[in-house]
Amino acid sequence: AGPVLFADPKVDGLAISLRYEHGELVEALTRGDGEKGDLVTGNVRAIRAIPLKLRAPRQQRWGGAIPAVLEVRGEIFMPIKEFERINAEREKHGEELFANARNSCVGTLKNKDPKIVASRRLSFVAHGRGEGLGLARRLGVVQQRRASASACASDVISTGPMSQGGVFTRSRSQSIASA
């Protein structure tokens, strides 16, 4: 039994940090230059894939409460079909086409008009691992699908609704992976 390869798609979008207080979205910040990001809360509120209010699961066994503060990190992206739709519309009106989905996403989010943001149908996935992320999933935050493990690299590289900027990979030997 050889090594097993795990791969997660690198979503080609804009890194974002969402801050919820008592279940309400109160702040959305881009990563910016690593020290100072842009406050884009108003525009993020126009993205349907991002819950404005967290909801407690209906499961009776939940028994938990929405935390006072929860920070969710993820990626805002423009789905490929939306990028194609926008460019077709721009072409029809004789406007310059957008170069790629990532730059279109970034430009859309930095736009000062939330109506334009809403019209461009951006999406969002949370990423990372940990207890906080599992809680976010239970409270209604959409998360990135993980590729399944495989012994063959071509099996874990897939296409999805978003543009991929690459693939994060890690490997473990078969004996460790099955333990």
* pLDDT score, position 95: 94
pLDDT per residue as tens digits for the range 61-92: 555 677 888 888 889 999 999 999 999 999 99
* Nearest alpha carbon to residue 139 among 24, 40, 34: 24
110 catalytic residue (yes or no): no
Residues of the chain with pLDDT under 50: 60, 129-131, 146-153, 155-159, 162, 164, 166-169, 171-179
Which of 10, 81, 112, 115 is catalytic? The answer is 10
